[in-house]
Homo-oligomer: A and B are copies of this chain.
Amino acid sequence: MFFSIDANNGVAIYDQIVRQVKFAIAEGSLRPGQLLPSVRSLSVELALNSNTIARAYQQLQSDGVLELLRGRGVAVCQGATKVCKEARRTLIADRLRSVLTEALHGGLESNEIEELVRKQLKQLSGTVNTVSSSLESQPIP
């Protein structure tokens, strides 16, 4: 499954969905015009309340990334890919900066931190599922 939600990582669930949708658009696994999974189906798939999904979709609409097709669902806007590519870098950079600041402040050396990053990236690149699944089955309307 495409979304991976962690209820206890300090990021609100609806915001994790917002971020991951933007990432999927940035990656190109969600393309302009494409319909997102319906609020109801995604709420079942992720075992979340549908209000939580609806809130994420609404945020994405007000961010100009999704548009409402009345009665049909919610689709990726034209031009969203570029917007999301830029947003992705900022979203990641902000969280990264926060962790790195804490690490330096906590007395770790830049070398140690870089080493830790390299080690983790190596471990994780094997693990991370870089291909979407549930989204690829969505037809372009």
Residue ranges of A at the interface with B (Cβ–Cβ < 8 Å): 4, 6-7, 9-12, 19-20, 23, 26-27, 29, 49, 62, 70-71, 88-89, 91-93, 95-108, 110, 113-114, 116-118, 120-122, 124-125, 128-130
Q: Tell me the bound Cα distance from A20 to B107 in angstroms.
A: 10
Q: Is the CB of A120 within 8 A of B98?
A: no
Q: Chain B residues near A114: list those with CB within 8 A.
A: 114, 117-118, 121
Q: Tell me the bound Cα distance from A104 to B130 in angstroms.
A: 7
Q: Tell me the bound Cα distance from A101 to B121 in angstroms.
A: 8
A16 to chain B, nearest CB (A): 8
Please give me the residue from chain B that is nearest to A3 by CB atom. Answer: B105
User: Given A9-B98, A92-B99, A98-B6, A23–B120 Cβ distance below 8 Å?
Assistant: no
| A interface SS class | helix
Q: Is the CB of A106 within 8 A of B88?
A: yes
Q: Is the CB of B88 within 8 A of A104?
A: no
Q: Is the CB of B88 within 8 A of A92?
A: no
Q: Which of B6, B7, B20 contacts A70 (CB 8 A)?
A: B7
Q: Chain B residues near A97: list those with CB within 8 A.
A: 120, 124
